[in-house]
Amino acid sequence: MKIYDSHGIKNIALLGNDGAGKTTLTEALLFESGVIKRRGRITQKNTVSDYFPVEHDYGYSVFSTVFHVEWNNKKLNIIDCPGSDDFVGAAITALNVTDTAVLLINGQYGPEVGTQNHFRYTEKLRKPVIFLVNQLDDEKCDFHVILEQLQSIYGSKVVPAQYPLATGPDFNSIIDIILMKKLTWGPEGGKPTIEEIPAEELERATEMHRALVESAAENDETLMEKFFETEQLTEDEMREGIRKGMVTRSIFPVFCVCATKNMGVGRLMEFLGNVVPFVDEMPSVHNSRGEEVKPDPSAPVSLYFFKTGIEPHIGEVQYFKVMSGTLKEGMDLTNADRGSKERMAQIFVCAGAMRDKVEQLSAGDIGCTVKLKDVRTGNTLNAPGVEHRFNWIKYPNAKYTRAIKAVSESDTEKMMQALSRMRQEDPTWEVEQSKELRQILVHGQGEFHLRTLKWRLENLDKIPVEFYEQRIPYRETITKSARADYRHKKQSGGAGQFGEVHLIVEPYQDGMEDPTVYRFGGQEIRVNIKSKEEIDLEWGGKLIFINSVVGGAIDTRFMPAILKGIMSRMEQGPLTGSYARDVRVVVYDGKMHPVDSNEISFTLAGRNAFSMAFREAGPKVLEPIYDVEVFTPADAMGDVMSDLQNRRGLIIGMDSEGGYQKLSAKVPLKELSSYSTTLSSLSGGRASFVMKFSSYELMPTDLQKKLIDDFAKEQEDEA
């Protein structure tokens, strides 16, 4: 294969909602460029993109597929991304290592919530966008309505570069506004017949051509001056203006294809090859220290590993982008994240599972390798003397969680190893061994996301597993002050155990003044602070521990033991066994024995005194509340809002964003267990949501009582 430099390489992410036809388009692109001799079909399970067994079984794209085509002496690296929101991590990864997004639109439905989500990611990353309307042969397709929707959502930056003469089963021709020609295809697609624009379409095409020329001219002063003088630009000048406009996101061109019939695909590739920005025309990336790293082939080598694939009979296939320098076969590099040395024994370019060996790759190019010793997704490999790291990919918070357990306990370790390996393939699968909840949790983007994980464990690793509802990480706190004392005394021959602790507990808030006096039942207890510890608890909130013992009633050396006993109850609250938080404890009196007092005695005395006082201090259970943003079509708004309210959600805002309704709410985590499934059902799969932790709030009394009663019963059963 020819070696391309940075000004011959273009990196493109292929995005779009589920069902938009990305896999079919990929087959057409590969066929049109000669990489494959026959187009595969999803139904026949022989496509280049969906080649993993789980994808064959489900009929969905689960992983992104990296492929390349050579077109007119240019190399196009394209990453085909899954459309389902459950696998959004692949799209985010692809956008971070490519320079242009092709956003595929389903001709039946127009812009969908997946379109919105993907566009939002391009916006955050400042990536150029091409809208590509597919399935123009569908009887429900109306291109002009879709164009109006796109312009309504994204504004006047959306400019058609083509439009179909007719949509539906008779679709076979478009008007190309850049070329100002009519392109017509035969039943098998392929190369079009190029003709003059029919007279009845000329006025409309001319008007659209003028709008496109004006949009192109706006991005270059020289072009703008020429446009004002002549109202015309040459085809090359238009390309230059569109390219500059794409880089600055001031123009979003719209193209047409029918991927199943291979119509319009060749013309799309011409545009990708001739107009889409090259690697060296995009703003340079920055490393983790904020230093600019240009795609300079003459600079020292630096590679960023953005994807890991696990393939039968091969093992790990590591995909990388050459951030700088020229990578050559046999180079020795250092892992900036792990400190290990690696030899790049073999370098490949790929098209799905097909790999072609190459001797070198230049800055900006994308390739893969195998048999590396110690490289993980997100790692950087550098030449000697280079210290770049690239860790800028930010993934969305998980939206769906289940506890997981191997059916056979003996498979637990094997299951954990498999989960760790799978997370290399998809970083949005998260695994957590929760000490607090005493469960192994897997977090993901939705039910289908975790169902795919389960399928792979059971079918590829042969580990039967079960999913359970996760326990909720409640918190316990108190609402008023209380006091208690406890004497621990044990005598069994020889030295005994003795410790007595008197203490006060009260709720704590940041900024509270130190206590000076307490009154309980007419008795006044003055506080003389000898020492104070402020402990930031791992699970949130604080514990303030004050030693106010006077007269040597308890030796100072026993205070750490008392604190240890209190902390043991903070870690397992008396109401539900959950962590306690935001409590101030004042130890003000006690007794000790010159012989029998020891650390264990005061640990137990402190623990029991705290537990007794806590129960008398108006204890309450706090539950985790999450901020939830739902993006939904207007026709599902009422059902979505009603469902949120039934989940004890508090609606705090409604807005319109990009043609969709946005609902903002605060919802208890307990009520979000299967929300992704319900939301999909309510909206016909067209809505999506994001969630993040907000705060802990008091639980309603009736629900708290039930929770406490259930915990008490559980404790009895275990006893």
Q: What whole-number distance in Å separates Cα of residue 711 and Cα of residue 707?
A: 6
Q: Are residues 585 and 681 both part of a single domain? A: no
Q: How many CA atoms lie within 13 A of 106 on its CB side?
A: 17
Residues 19 and 124 in one domain: yes
Co-location of 495 and 603 in the same domain: yes
Residues 6+ apart with CB under 8 A from 264: 162, 174, 183, 185, 255, 256, 257, 258
Token pair, residue 387, equals: 């210290």
Instruction: Answer yes or no: is pLDDT of 178 > 80.
Output: yes
Mean pLDDT, the chain, rounded, equals 91
Non-local (6+) Cβ contacts of 49 within 8 A are 22, 23, 26, 27, 61, 65, 67, 80, 352
Find where tokens 């464990």 sit: 457
Confidence check: pLDDT of 370 > 90:
yes
Q: Rounded CA gap, 267 and 710, in Å?
A: 66
Question: In angstroms, rounded to a whole number, what is the distance separating the alpha carbons of residues 285 and 245?
Answer: 19
Sign of the C-alpha dihedral computed for residues 49, 51, 56 and 62 taken in this order: negative
**Contact call for residues 102 and 12 (beta carbons, < 8 A):** yes
Are 21 and 104 a contacting pair, CB within 8 Å?
A: yes
Q: Are residues 642 and 496 in the same domain?
A: no
Do 316 and 431 lie in one domain? The reply is no
**Helix-then-strand count for the chain, H and E:** 16, 40
- Asked whether the beta carbons of 282 and 186 are under 8 A apart, the reply is no
Q: Tokens 């492929």 belong to which residue?
A: 67
Q: What is the pLDDT of residue 59?
A: 65
Residue 229: predicted pLDDT? 76
Question: Confidence class of residue 52 from pLDDT cuts 50, 70 and 90?
Answer: low
pLDDT tens, position by position, 129-163: 999 999 999 999 999 999 999 999 999 999 999 99
pLDDT digits (tens, 9 = 90+) for 644-678: 999 999 999 999 876 678 999 999 999 999 898 89
Are residue 149 and residue 54 in the same domain, yes or no? yes
Q: Output b/e per residue, 559-590; b: 16+ Cβ within 10 A.
A: bebbbebbbebbbebbbbbbbbbbbbbbbbbb
Asked which of 382, 412, 446 is the last residue of a domain, the reply is: 382
- pLDDT at position 658, please? 66
Residues 596 and 629 in one domain: no
CATH number of the domain where residue 663 is located: 3.30.70.240
CATH code where residue 563 lies: 3.30.230.10
DSSP, collapsed to helix, strand or coil, labels residue 668 as strand
Indicate the burial class of 598 (C-beta count within 10 angstroms; 0-12, 13-18, 19 or more). Answer: middle
Residue 715: pLDDT above 90? no
Task: Identify the CATH number of the domain in which residue 329 sits.
Answer: 2.40.30.10
Q: Which residue has the tokens 């900036």?
A: 336
In single-letter form, the type of residue at position 120 comes to R
| pLDDT classification of 643: cutoffs 50, 70, 90 | very high
- Note whether residue 483 is domain-resident: yes
Whole-number pLDDT of residue 42? 66
pLDDT at 719 over 60: no
Whether residue 374 is predicted with pLDDT greater than 70 in this model: the reply is yes
**pLDDT tens digits for range 211-221:** 998 888 888 88
Phi, psi angles (nearest 5°) of residue 12: -130, 135
Reported as a pLDDT band with limits 50, 70 and 90, residue 56 is low
pLDDT value, residue 633: 86
Residue after which a domain boundary falls, among 617, 637, 666? 617
Those residues with Cβ within 8 angstroms of residue 34's Cβ, 6 or more apart along the chain or in another chain:
none
Q: Is the same domain home to 461 and 333?
A: no
The verdict on 12 and 152 lying in the same domain is yes
> How far apart, in whole angstroms, are the C-alpha atoms of residue 409 and residue 22?
41
Quickly state the pLDDT bin for 486 (edges 50, 70, 90).
very high
* Residue range 610-632: mean pLDDT, rounded: 94
Query: Is 286 inside a domain boundary?
Result: no
Assess whether 612 and 626 both reside in one domain.
Answer: no
Of 34-38, 59-63, 133-137, where does the model show the most confidence? 133-137
What integer is the mean pLDDT of 613-623?
Answer: 94
Residues in contact with 631: Cβ distance below 8 Å, sequence separation at least 6, in sequence order: 113, 116, 117, 657, 660, 661, 662, 687, 688, 689
Q: In the predicted model, what is the mean pLDDT of residues 500-523? A: 94
Parallel, antiparallel, or unpaired: how do β-strands 660-668 and 650-657 relate? antiparallel
Question: Residues 461, 610: one domain?
Answer: no
Pairing state of beta strands 380-382 and 332-335? antiparallel
Is residue 561 very low, low, confident or very high in pLDDT (cuts 50, 70, 90)? very high
- Whether the CB-CB separation of 446 and 86 falls below 8 Å is answered with yes
Q: Is residue 21 part of a domain?
A: yes
Question: Which band of pLDDT confidence, cut at 50, 70 and 90, is reported for residue 53?
Answer: low
Is the same domain home to 686 and 551? Answer: no
Expressed as residue numbers, the domain containing 683 is 621-702
Inside any domain, residue 428: yes
Question: Which tens digit of pLDDT belongs to each residue from 190-199?
Answer: 899 999 999 9
Percentage of the chain beyond pLDDT 70 is 97
Domain count, the chain: 5
* Residue 344 covered by a domain: yes
